[in-house]
Amino acid sequence: MNQFEKTKESLLKEPRTWLVSGCAGFIGSNLIEFLLQHGQKVVGIDNFSTGHQYNIDDVLEKVGGMAANFRFYEGDVTDYAKCMEVCEGVDIVLHQAALGSVPRSIGDPISSNHSNVTGFLTLMTAAKECGVKRFVYASSSSVYGDSAELPKVEERTGRLLSPYAVTKMTNELYGGVFARTYGMETVGLRYFNVFGRRQDPNGAYAAVIPKWIASLLSGESVYINGDGETSRDFTYIDNVIQLNVLAGTTANPEAFGEAFNGAVGGRNTLNELYGLIMEKLQGEMPEVSRIEPIYRDFRAGDIRHSNADITKARTLLGYEPTHSIEQGMNESIRWYIDDIVAK
């Protein structure tokens, strides 16, 4: 039995109270669904700037009677009084709330900083004041900047390339300081291109996988930035859920004040990604084979290649990815077909 299986058993035996910020978003809603399904009490907060009420509704429908263990607050993590309210009685925080997207941060650095830095510090301070010992937070692979080293190892980063990357590196600096100064058990998770069910395909800052799948399902063109040889460590949502839960429950003091790569440890180019999506979709909808991608300019602030070394998470947290990109893509496409085509 691996560490995650042991942890799931312990959750059912010893329920805790978890706060998930950004609970109406893609990752946050998947986290609250997992926690409720495993007998936990969950508090959620979201201001709906990027999240959606229908994500919460979907979770509560799926968990049935366990929905009684969920308490939701509409509010902003930059509101200290609201953060104090939601942190009361909480054992573990999983902080997901943020304004994502490198291009968004380049276009509006002030809003990104307000949400991602001020909001982060406000919630973590409130958690400290309320006696919350464990604070797990979403960082990003963008903190590796222009480092050409592959795979990416946590201890070595490059020059940052976007305001978004600056906000996430600032989170990590604060996380380390709160661990050393206040004794908080902080753990940062550097997400690498997470994808899966409930990831929003709409909007100017939609992630590449849901945007491409939705476009293909609708018979629309797909755009690839640059030459298509940009590569990423695409990571399925179930791997990220596992990592959050392990970080939230680990008894290993060496993990506190640290940041960990949240990835599967693989690498696929955008061209390979497009081919994989087409392969999976054609079995369901043969007509998509007629759609050819359109190449356009590289996107400002993007790193060229991304591939994570997950040794540190394996060693200190007991993390073992359960889904490859192929397995995750099978599940994701099934979900999008059911969600988009069926409706």
User: Mind listing the domains of the chain with CATH numbers?
Assistant: 3-271+281-341 (3.40.50.720)
- The confidence score (pLDDT) of residue 300 equals 80
State how far the Cα of 81 lies from the Cα of 223, in Å rounded to an integer.
43
Q: Which residues contact 57 (CB under 8 A, 6 or more apart)?
A: none
Contacts of 46 (CB under 8 A, 6+ apart): 21, 22, 23, 24, 25, 28, 56, 72, 74, 75, 97
The 8-class DSSP code of residue 289 comes to G
Q: pLDDT value at position 144?
A: 95
Could you say which DSSP state residue 308 is in? B
- Tell me what pLDDT residue 107 has: 95
Q: Would you call 274 a catalytic residue per the annotation? A: no
Q: How confident is the model at residue 341, as a pLDDT?
A: 57
Give 128-157 pLDDT, tens digit per residue. Answer: 999 999 999 999 999 999 999 999 999 999
Inter-residue contact 270 to 302 (CB < 8 Å): no
Q: What's the token pair of residue 245?
A: 């839960």
Q: Which tokens hold the place of 271?
A: 């061209």
Residue 334's alpha-carbon distances to 199, 213, 246, 262, 340, in angstroms, are: 13, 11, 27, 24, 10
Low-confidence ranges of the chain (pLDDT < 70): 340-343
Element (DSSP H or E) covering residue 331: helix 325-336
Q: 226: which 2 tokens?
A: 């640059």
Joined tokens for residue 161? 């390339």
Name the amino acid, one letter, at 336. Y
Which amino acid, 328? G
Q: Quick one: residue 48, left, alpha or beta (phi over 0 = left, psi -120 to 50 = alpha)?
A: left
Nearest CA among 303, 308, 263 for reference residue 155: 308
pTM: 0.95
CB 96, CB 138: distance < 8 Å: yes
Alpha carbon distance 254, 257 (integer Å): 8
Catalytic residue among 164, 236, 274, 336: 164
In 3D space, the residue among 8, 59, 72 whose CA is nearest the CA of residue 33 turns out to be: 59
